[in-house]
Chains A and B, each alone.
Chain A
Amino acid sequence: MSQLRKSLKANPIIKFLASIKITVVCLILLFILTLWGTIAQVEAGLYEAQQRFFYSWYFLVLGYLPFPGARLVLWVLFINLTANTIKRFVYKMSQIGILIIHFGLMTYFFAAFVTFHEVQESYLMLKENQSSNVSVSYHEWELALWKKTKEDKREVLAFDSNHFKALEMYPFLPFNIDVQVKSYYPNAQAYVNQEGNNEYLNASGIQSLQAIAKDKEPEKNIAGGLFEIFHKGKKLHTIMLYGGEIQGTSFIVERDEYFLMLRRKKYELPFTIHLNKFDMSVHPGTEIPRHFQSFVEVEHQGLKREVLIYMNEPLRYKSFALYQASYSLGQNGDKYSTLAVVKNRGHLLPYISSLITFLGLVIHFMFMAFKRKR
């Protein structure tokens, strides 16, 4: 083992990769990115700043100067740390703190990787006594198509539409219908034609769309687009859709009625949530909310249980967690509770990383204090 380590230690590539200069440079870059990314949030908003500074491999400053994004810097740091486990670290009792700290940091990289690629965020808004097993995305959109049926069940087919481009063709195979994107706007305003001579099919009377700049807060963007329906290679309809509509637009293909709708992406949950009751209280004499909570019933394959969800007390179910996010009151006093739905299989990983690294720090600085006294 030690022979292997010796030969690895001598390896010039590992030697280079393990350089502490790389560590320091990466840490400084991360420092700059964090500071810059914070200040940029004032103008660009949290979401855009996250994408540009933290989730990117690199980005361009002033349009031409490339600057590494946090994603790249963290990968380099991870490689640097891995190389150091071979080259630099001294596996001795006195170094145990340092080793634990860096092992803990390794688990952070793993946790970040899993979370970054796994997490799925959506929400569920329920009126009292309403049930649902479908949650809705905050800012992802989809183009959904379904056939009108007499049963209360329906099969919906949908394509993620966030990256739609003009002239792309999407086949809805089971229905033998193809939809071609004529134009697509991530954020748009819709206009109704007053004169009544409608050029496009639309359930709400919308006849023109105007693209507008994306909002700072991505959930405020409302997508819109123009789509053409093809059946057996023949163009049948042109449909204009807008994300702000509450109903799909119907069209006929071979005597069957279908619906096409541009809507926030929906996720099917493996359980059904029924909101029994929603309660809120404010600090007396003020509008400051003190507490709010939802009494829900979770149903999974016929098995029901009651759960109370409130601030800092989410409902956890498999890899899902449901949080009390906000609430609203309807016009006739109906209470709506909004539950944030987060699916994250790696949710416990950062807990473990925190614990390990913190223990390492404590052990290391205790060791140092102890050593000094001796």
Chain B
Amino acid sequence: MIRMMNELTIMGEPRRQRILNLVWDRELSAGEIANDLSDISFGAVSQHLGILVEGGLISVRREGRSRIYRANRGEMGPLEAYLTAFWDRKLDRLKEQAEKLEKKKKMEKKDE
């Protein structure tokens, strides 16, 4: 039986969206990805990683005994999957940046 799977189908699964966000602009090992998705088994994480690699959304390379993953940003599409992952990642980034800046401002105010 021939089975077809496109990017939209691949990206319809929230765990795979999360994995894509995690490896959007950095390389992570399978173990590091599994640590973030601690509510599912390592086997389930491996399965999701396999689907993302097969779909061309992420690439994998070996480093010693580890497998290292990274998003294939140039291959992203269609639009919804690409932009959803893109803006989601930016909101994560903003949260980190703004909360750090807020803490710094509060510390400075305290010192005055």
Whether both chains belong to one complex is answered with no
Question: Which residue numbers of B lie inside 8 Å of A, CB to CB?
Answer: none
Question: Which residue numbers of A lie inside 8 Å of B, CB to CB?
Answer: none
